[in-house]
């Protein structure tokens, strides 16, 4: 088993950051041909997802819909820190991924990328990688 952590610096309250290159670099550094990579985000207001990385409008659309469905300010939220929406969005996005490794690389679809999802930034965040 190989482990690593990535530091992700977010610049906005909400954003999707493509971390595919950093994940691929970790895999290459381990010289592993096949396996499973677990990607885990240890934050309650951030998540991780796989989606299209070729067209930047996909990221914009995802954030747009999440903002419409779960607005930042809602007088009915009971959590008093002002980031209830971030907790909900992170739960919907998820905190972990299981990704296949084949031929020393991620086994992603043609257009897929790995995105860190920030919902309460800007902050410095961590992403944990465990390769089996």
User: Dihedral sign, CA of 128, 8, 121, 97?
Assistant: negative
37-49 pLDDT tens trace: 999 999 999 999 9
2-46 pLDDT tens trace: 999 999 999 999 999 999 999 999 999 999 999 999 999 999 999
Please give the residue range of the domain that contains residue 25.
Answer: 2-131
By three-state DSSP, how is residue 109 classified? coil
pTM: 0.96
Distance of alpha carbon 22 from alpha carbon 12, whole angstroms: 20
Non-local (6+) Cβ contacts of 60 within 8 A are none
Non-local (6+) Cβ contacts of 67 within 8 A are 14
Q: Nearest to residue 14, comparing CAs of 90, 94, 114?
A: 90
Q: How many domains does the chain have?
A: 1
- The CATH number of the domain holding residue 37 is 2.60.120.460
């Amino acid at each position: 088993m190989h482990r690593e952590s990535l530091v992700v610096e977010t610049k906005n309250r909400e954003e999707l950051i493509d971390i595919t290159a950093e994940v691929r670099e970790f895999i290459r550094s381990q010289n592993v041909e096949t396996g499973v990579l677990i990607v885990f985000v240890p934050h309650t207001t951030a998540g991780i997802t796989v989606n299209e990385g070729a067209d930047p409008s996909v990221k914009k659309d995802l954030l747009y819909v999440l903002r419409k469905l779960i607005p930042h300010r809602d007088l009915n939220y009971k959590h008093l820190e002002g980031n209830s929406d971030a907790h909900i969005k992170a739960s919907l996005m998820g905190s972990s991924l299981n990704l296949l490794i084949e031929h020393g690389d991620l086994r992603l679809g043609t257009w897929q990328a790995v995105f860190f999802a920030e919902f309460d930034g800007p902050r410095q965040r961590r992403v944990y990688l465990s390769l089996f």
